[in-house]
Chain A
Amino acid sequence: MSGPLTAPLVVEFPFTRSLGPVQSAFLTGLRERVVLGVRAGDGRVLVPPTEYDPGTAEELRELVEVAPTGTVTTWAWNPAPRPRQPLPTPFAWVLVRLDGADTALLHALDAPGPDAVRTGMRVRVRWAADRTGAITDIACFEPYEGEPREGEAHEDEPYESGPYIREFTDPVTGITTPARLDYTYAPGSAQSRYLAALARHRIVGERCPACRRVCVPPRGACPTCGVATREQTEVGPRGTVTTYCVVNIKARNAAIDVPYVYAHIALDGADQALHGRIAGIPCDRVRMGLRVEPVWTDGARHPDHYRPTGEPDAAYDTYKELL
């Protein structure tokens, strides 16, 4: 018998964000090559801005434009960038306090090596060519020799620190943030044994040494008694439909045409129903108590579906505890 299985599990969704008024202004500003902060109750300018005051919880709405130049307050060298990080070559993660701001912004600094980076160094924004209203509109920061000085931010549009009063047209109100998690999924030794038996077209549960009930699929322990289960017990192949529904809407990950019957099936000898699809009979003729057997297809890990055996229906009393 082979050892426990593993397989990649990728969870990837395109999450959306409703930005609210402050993040909307911040990201729209980046699109227009303007960095906006917000003034807190104590007078400090927070960049990136927050909707609510970190000290008093009051709503913050006074937007303030700050410079695209600033000072590194601390940093860490990233020698091996991963996919989707801001730069493909080694770079420094930096906290930058922009001129006019009282807090620091996290971003990437394009530098030839760690020897070229130091706390206190001067940097400026390198704008992305294509800007959509996202933090990536700042492609990265780059070293900059100038002193903190107001009035030379944009080559074509002088920067003046102070309250930001211009209204943006077509503000960004929502963004899409694709997120991806890569797991190595390990189903454990009990399920690995179960899957190995399935490969031989056998369905094998495990009997609890305490309550003697047969769990299928097995979990390696009895969920009721909390003791390890080691005794393998083949169940089925025939069984009884204990309950079911007719699915009329398609699942995202299922290549099954609707309508189909999703059923709980108590295989003979099992003390717990497992779940499967019923076919080989019209949906409207499936019923509780129907006797079924698995249908295997080449290359599939699980029975493709279960079909009627032609036996008389099981009496309700024989399966009513197995719904």
Chain B
Amino acid sequence: MTREPVAVVGIGQTRHAAARKDVSIAGLVREAALRALADAELTWADVDAVVIGKAPDFFEGVMMPELYLADALGAVGKPLMRVHTAGSVGGSTALVAARLVAARVRETVLTVAFEKQSESNAMWGLSLPVPFQQPLLAGAGGFFAPHVRAYIRRTGAPATVGTLVAYKDRRNALRNPFAHLHEHDITLERVQESPMLWDPVRYSETCPSSDGACAMVLTGRRGAARAPHPPAWVHGGAMRSEPTLFAGKDFVSPRAGRDCAADVYRQAGITDPRREIDVAELYVPFSWYEPMWLENLGFATEGEGWKLTASGATELDGDLPVNPSGGVLSTNPIGASGMLRFAEAALQVRGRAGEHQVDGARRALGHAYGGGAQFFSMWLVGSEAPDG
């Protein structure tokens, strides 16, 4: 039996900010969900199941928050399940929802991911005082900065490449009304003069901490035929995991990421991602991860990712725009960040990305990773329905 083709017919997100003190957690997820339903011109009654995701419970201190969100998400009397794969969770959540549709278990599924980081402090949540271990680190930046240095050493990239990424993504965010950071006075010089937090990672090359949520409505062929706007079709999706630390781990280009991308490309019939993919939304929490992922995902050969970035190809008007939304560098409600990448890819192929629309985008990659570069989730969406 063939799978049901999966279509994204509704997309919504909140206004993202450092602190959304005007809403509860329930109000936050609701805001994104209502926008997704409105985009699909559907009501709660049209939804058959809800799949929700967020990062560690320590980030808000509400254990299993999904248990109290059933009424806010219209899930009473329906299946409601929660997914958790650290920072990649927004992507994995969408993939779990997509598979419920693909397997014809449910016809129309609402999927939501969120983080309300202002209710706590992500740095605390990631730096528990574990006994017998030496406290050496301050947050995620210190964990990832040595891997950035390893990338620079391995490829001989000029030290300024990371700042080009930050400058680009923050400018893209100015076109995205939902983005957290709108730095109207940004210049490349400001990025390059910002304080060095975890040398070689500067303040302006680091993602913010945001409150926000993202939601999508996924459905099959029948639902897509009724949709008021063009759908995005899922051509491939995959997840891969590997341990945080092991002898032989390549933090610069983790094998789980390469394998995950290869699986997605095989499903989608992509043989040359650089030519066949029009736009990519990659999970780039620290600027240098753009060239690193360009290599890991096969857009550039090993050691050449930084050249693609430096050439301007990944700019909004380049031939492979990366992170037209402004990316994680401009908006980072951790649990939602992966779904925001997936949603932006879908917006692009639907032609509904507004001021950050890439002209003629027909195939787009959404990418997320999490933990110690150990969980990966990706999907490839297109404007045309998949064959068969």
| Chain B residues, CB < 8 A from A320 | 154
| Chain B residues, CB < 8 A from A177 | 61
How distant is the Cα of A18 from the Cα of B24 in the complex, in angstroms? 5
CB pair B147 A243 closer than 8 Å = yes
CB pair B201 A245 closer than 8 Å = yes
**Interchain Cβ contacts within 8 Å, total number:** 187
| Chain B residues, CB < 8 A from A144 | none
* Given A20-B23, A57-B44, A321-B248; A254-B138 close (CB under 8 Å): yes
Which A residues between 229 and 247 are near B, CB-CB below 8 angstroms? 242-247
Q: Of the candidates A13, A19, A56, A271, which one forms a contact with B121 in the assembled complex, judged by CB atoms under 8 Å apart?
A: A13
| Chain A residues, CB < 8 A from B252 | 323
| Chain B residues, CB < 8 A from A222 | 246-247
Which B residues between 36 and 86 are near A, CB-CB below 8 angstroms? 44, 58, 60-62, 70-74, 76
Is B116 an interface position by the 8 A CB rule?
A: yes
Binary B-proximity of A252-288 (CB < 8 A = 1, otherwise 0): 1110100100111000000110011100000100001
What bracket does the count of chain A residues touching chain B fall in?
35 or more
* Given A252-B124, A316-B153; A271-B137 close (CB under 8 Å): no
* Given A57-B44, A223-B246, A245-B149; A52-B71 close (CB under 8 Å): yes
Chain B residue nearest to A54 (CB atoms) is B71
Binary A-proximity of B134-149 (CB < 8 A = 1, otherwise 0): 1111110010011111
Interface centre among B62, B70, B243, B246 (most CB of A within 10 A): B246
Which B residues between 103 and 135 are near A, CB-CB below 8 angstroms? 116, 118-121, 123-125, 127-132, 134-135
How distant is the Cα of A213 from the Cα of B25 in the complex, in angstroms? 47
Binary A-proximity of B240-266 (CB < 8 A = 1, otherwise 0): 000101111111100000000000000
CB pair B131 A187 closer than 8 Å = yes
Binary B-proximity of A164-204 (CB < 8 A = 1, otherwise 0): 00000000011001010000010100010001000000000
* Given A20-B26, A245-B201; A264-B146 close (CB under 8 Å): yes
How distant is the Cα of A141 from the Cα of B58 in the complex, in angstroms? 32
Chain B residue nearest to A322 (CB atoms) is B247
A interface with B by C-beta (< 8 Å): 5, 7-11, 13, 15-20, 23, 50-57, 173-174, 177, 179, 185, 187, 191, 195, 208, 211, 213-215, 222-224, 242-254, 256, 259, 262-264, 271-272, 275-277, 283, 288, 301-302, 316, 320-321, 323
Closest 10 CB pairs of A and B: A20-B24, A245-B145, A15-B61, A223-B246, A57-B74, A7-B131, A246-B199, A251-B138, A271-B247, A213-B247
- Further contacts, 14 of them, CB under 8 A, given A13-B61, A272-B248: A15-B119, A18-B22, A18-B118, A51-B72, A57-B72, A215-B247, A243-B153, A244-B146, A247-B138, A254-B135, A254-B138, A262-B137, A262-B142, A323-B147
